[in-house]
Every structure is written in structure tokens, then in C-alpha cells.
Amino acid sequence: MEATSSPPPANLNEPLNDDKKKKTKTMTEKKKKKKEALGWMEWLRGWFYVVYEMLFQRIMASHLQNPMPLPPINDLTCIVTGSTSGIGREIARQLAESGAHVVMAVRNTKAAHELIQKWQSEWSGMGLPLNIEVMELDLLSLDSVVRFAEGWNSRLGPLHVLINNAGIFSIGEPQKFSKDGYEEHMQVNHLGPALLSILLLPSLIRGSPSRIVNVNSVMHYVGFVDTEDMNVVSGRRKFTSLVGYASSKLAQVMFTSVLFKRLPAESGINVLCVSPGIVHTNVARDLPKAVQAAYHLIPYFIFSPQEGSRSTLFAATDSQVPEYCELLKADDWPACPFISQDCRPASPSEEAHNIETSHKVWEKTLELIGLPPDAVERLIEGEDVNCRYGANQE
């Protein structure tokens, strides 16, 4: 008996095509639907992590010495931003006492010089004079950032460690903008350090192996970045100082993740973020009186600036850090290397692992700070790059 097979009806494929079109359209619409905030589960997990770190950070870091002993670093040159108070002050002092050449990159140069005199006096008779100098840097002015980088690069000397420590958290303050037109938290905590890091790449290459250490915050776990509204002015989100701070810290992690991937291994430059923990710093001055009182009643849970400086000092000097960075790069990890307050590797927030948003943050940041999209690649190749800011602005 002869087997026969009849072709399918001519119109059988039409419903299938229609179904595919509908599915494709639905998927496209979902992709086009823009995420406008953290999901409530992400938000809850973020706050859980913040509260957990505050309550248990001292226990988690109980294995660390205070102050943290540092290896001999006489051959290192380190730039530390925001080093006249808080964590930055401790970082600069301890690096200098361990033999490093420290550059205090600060807005208040008079306060920095007074600190150096005090430190030299206290150090007298304990070894060679501390090798510290001061250079002016105001992160609220991108022109100032460019001038600083040009001034340092013109020395044609090596830079081994750049510590982007300076930051602001203007708790309870109304929204403010820099003269460059950017929300102040976003500029000081992210845009300024991003511009500084890229412009100093020539000096970091000369100091290779070198490191960029971004002092971040556990608060990035509750942050969200809208690349179409970096200034938080569209009305889609209500601005609060917490929104401004957390968003800027998340933007820094995302930008660092892309920079980490773009820096070739041959450059010898590692870049990472660190969390100092919940630290008792000058932020308390901006808190409401009642909150200040509570803040001072829980000293056991909150780190001193010296304790808060340990993770940054570890990231800047420990010999295991480059190995950790190389491991993540080899595994094509979606987020940048991150060191927690207990000096152990940690994972940034769930949102920080969003590769698509991280690349959008990278592109938007370069646009806002006036650099071309290929600035990193060109600087690594030894080419000059023009910035929209500074003396050579168009």
C-alpha cells in the first residue's frame, strides 16, 4: 500500500506567524518599558543589607587590627581626594606614616597645610619627615578637575594609587546644582571622580602596576540610576538627599564596572570600589538634632574614621588585590571588584549587575564630563584627548 503524505494546508503557517508576531511585539514592548525604580523586593533587600551592615559590621570586621598595619610603601605615590577630614584624613596620614608620597587633593588647601604641620610635629623623631604635599581640587568644578589632572600629568612622573575618597551626603538639604549644572551629589560623588580617573590614566600607566580605589558606600544598595534623568529633575522621582546620594554611589559602581572591563590587562591598572562601612564622619553635622542624638548614642555599631579607613587602605596596598581583580576579569564578571568594610571581596547590589544600564551610565557620564566615547582607549595608546572643560575648552 502506497504511503501518501499531503502537504499542510496553505494557511496553517499564517496563525503561527501571527502568534510569533504577537509574541515578538509583546517582548519588544516589555523591553521598551523602561525601569523607573527599584522593584519593591530589590528595595527591601537593599535596606536589609544596609541595616545588617550597621548592626553587624563590627563583628564582621573583628579580625582586623586598628589601625591597620601596612606593608612598606616607600616607593608608592598616592593621590587622596577629600583628605582633610573623616576617612580621607586617616587614609592620607597612615599612607604617609608608612612611607608613601601622599598628595592631598583638597578644596581647602589651608586646612591641609595645617594638618601636615600637625602630623610632621607628631611624627618628629619617629623617622624621616612625612612626604606629603597639597594640590587644590574642587570636585564641584569640572574645570578644577581638569586643571588638577593637567598639573599632575605635566610632571611626567608615576602615579601608583588614586583614591577617590571625597564625597558629600547633604542630609535634609534641598536639591542643589553645581556651576556646571549637575546635581551636587552626582557631581562630587561620581562625575568629578570619573573625570579625574580617566584624565590621570597617563600617570597611572607610568606607575603601573597601579590602582584606582573608589570609596563607595553600602547605600548604593538602595540606589537607582535613571540615565535620562541623572539630575533627578523630571518629576518621575521625588528628590531627597538620600535619593541623590544613593543614586550617585550606584552610578559610581556601574561606571567602575565598565572602566574595569575597558582597561586592558597590559595597562597594569586595576580599578575597584570599597565600602568603608557605616562611619562616624562629618555627615552627622547635617543631621537633624534628634537624629544627631541617636547617632551619638550608638557608637558601638558605627565605625570611627580610623576603622572606616581600613578597607580603602587594604584595597590600595594589599598584594592580593591585583589577583582578585584578574580573577574577576578572567571570569567576565558583570560588576567591578568590590571590597567590603571587613576587607573581604563582596558583591555589589543586584542593580549594579545590570550590564545594559551600566553601559548607559558609562556613555552618559562621558557625555556629561565632556570626553569622547573612546577617551580611555586613546589615552592608553598615548594619544591626547580634549575635554570640554578646563583651559582648552572649546
Lowest mean pLDDT among 35-49, 186-200, 368-382: 35-49
Rg for the chain (alpha carbons), in Å? Answer: 24
Cα 56 to Cα 40: distance, rounded to the nearest angstrom: 24
Confidence class of residue 392 from pLDDT cuts 50, 70 and 90? low
Cα 388 to Cα 394: distance, rounded to the nearest angstrom: 6
Say how many C-beta atoms besides its own lie within 10 A of residue 117's C-beta. 10
| Structure confidence at residue 378 (pLDDT) | 97
Q: What backbone torsions phi and psi does residue 291 show, to the nearest 5 degrees?
A: -70, -35
| Structure confidence at residue 4 (pLDDT) | 42
Of 108, 218, 100, 212, whose CA–CA distance to 164 is shortest? 212
Confidence class of residue 20 from pLDDT cuts 50, 70 and 90? very low
pLDDT at residue 217 greater than cutoff 80: yes
- Please give the average per-residue pLDDT across 273-288, as a whole number: 74
Compute the mean pLDDT over every residue in the chain, rounded to the nearest whole number.
89
Does the CA dihedral 61-64-69-71 come out positive or negative?
Answer: negative
| Structure confidence at residue 11 (pLDDT) | 43
- Side-chain-side CA neighbours of 75 within 13 Å: the count stands at 5
pLDDT at residue 379 greater than cutoff 80: yes
Of 219, 279, 270, whose CA–CA distance to 248 is shortest? 219
In single-letter form, the type of residue at position 171 comes to I
Cα 104 to Cα 312: distance, rounded to the nearest angstrom: 15
pLDDT tens figures, 324-341? 999 999 888 999 999 999
- The larger pLDDT score, comparing residue 128 to residue 181, is at 181
The owner of cell 598616592 is: 78
| Structure confidence at residue 16 (pLDDT) | 40
pLDDT tens figures, 222-255? 999 999 999 999 999 999 999 999 999 999 999 9
pLDDT at residue 13 greater than cutoff 80: no
Catalytic sites, residue numbers: 245
Running DSSP on this structure, what letter comes out for residue 212?
A: E
Q: What is the pTM of this model?
A: 0.89
Confidence class of residue 172 from pLDDT cuts 50, 70 and 90? confident
CA-to-CA dists, residue 58 to 21, 66, 216, 260, 279, angstroms: 56, 12, 18, 30, 11
Cα 219 to Cα 277: distance, rounded to the nearest angstrom: 10
| Structure confidence at residue 190 (pLDDT) | 98
114 close to 144: Cβ distance less than 8 angstroms? no
| Structure confidence at residue 295 (pLDDT) | 60
Confidence class of residue 7 from pLDDT cuts 50, 70 and 90? very low
| Structure confidence at residue 15 (pLDDT) | 42
- The larger pLDDT score, comparing residue 24 to residue 370, is at 370
Q: What backbone torsions phi and psi does residue 55 show, to the nearest 5 degrees?
A: -75, -35
Cα 230 to Cα 180: distance, rounded to the nearest angstrom: 13
- Residue 283: CB partners within 8 Å, gap ≥ 6? 169, 171
Q: Looking at domain 32-381, what is its CATH homologous superfamily?
A: NAD(P)-binding Rossmann-like Domain (3.40.50.720)
Of 198, 194, 171, 172, whose CA–CA distance to 182 is shortest? 194
Tell me the residue ranges of DSSP E strands in the chain. Answer: 77-81, 101-106, 132-136, 161-164, 210-215, 269-274, 338-339
Q: Taking the domains of the chain in order of start, what are their residue ranges?
A: 32-381
Confidence class of residue 128 from pLDDT cuts 50, 70 and 90? confident
pLDDT at residue 319 greater than cutoff 70: yes
pLDDT tens figures, 337-363? 999 999 999 999 999 999 999 999 999
- Please give the average per-residue pLDDT across 99-113, as a whole number: 98
The owner of cell 555589589 is: 348
Confidence class of residue 285 from pLDDT cuts 50, 70 and 90? low
In single-letter form, the type of residue at position 279 comes to V
- Measured between alpha carbons, how far apart are the two ends of the chain, in Å? 86
pLDDT at residue 1 greater than cutoff 50: no
| Structure confidence at residue 315 (pLDDT) | 98
pLDDT at residue 200 greater than cutoff 70: yes
**Exposed e or buried b per residue across 125-135, where buried means at least 16 C-beta atoms within 10 angstroms of its C-beta:** eeeeebebebb
pLDDT at residue 176 greater than cutoff 60: yes
- The larger pLDDT score, comparing residue 22 to residue 151, is at 151
